[in-house]
Amino acid sequence: MSDKETDDYYEHQLVMFESPGWKYFTDQVRDMRAATDTLKGVTLEKLVFNQGELSIMDWILNWPSAVRMAYQTKDAKPEAEPEVDPEG
């Protein structure tokens, strides 16, 4: 992607995260997560399934933070590795 396309990608997501629709969606995900995060009557198979569901819900709920961090640091240059003297 070009720099412009990358900027557009992040900026459109940031706008989406501020929308009422995103808030409604994440409120529903939080409710679903609370209902799923229980051991009441859970079999081993259901436990494994629930772990997968919780992982996906956590990814959705953490997505805005990950996008904001990536957008803020996308132009940062990595720090140079310190030189190591091979002879100690």
Q: Where are the domains of the chain?
A: 42-71
pLDDT of residue 74: 83
> Which strand (E) or helix (H) includes residue 51?
helix 44-73
Distances (CA, A) of 12 to 6, 27, 28, 30, 68: 10, 21, 22, 23, 11
Record the pTM. 0.71
pLDDT of residue 42: 86
Q: For every one of its 88 residues, what pLDDT tens digit does the chain have, with 9 covering 90 and above? A: 788 999 999 999 999 999 999 999 999 999 999 999 988 888 999 999 999 999 999 999 999 999 999 999 987 776 666 666 666 5
CA distance 77 to 71: 13
Cβ distance 33 to 54 under 8 Å?
yes
CA distance 31 to 9: 28
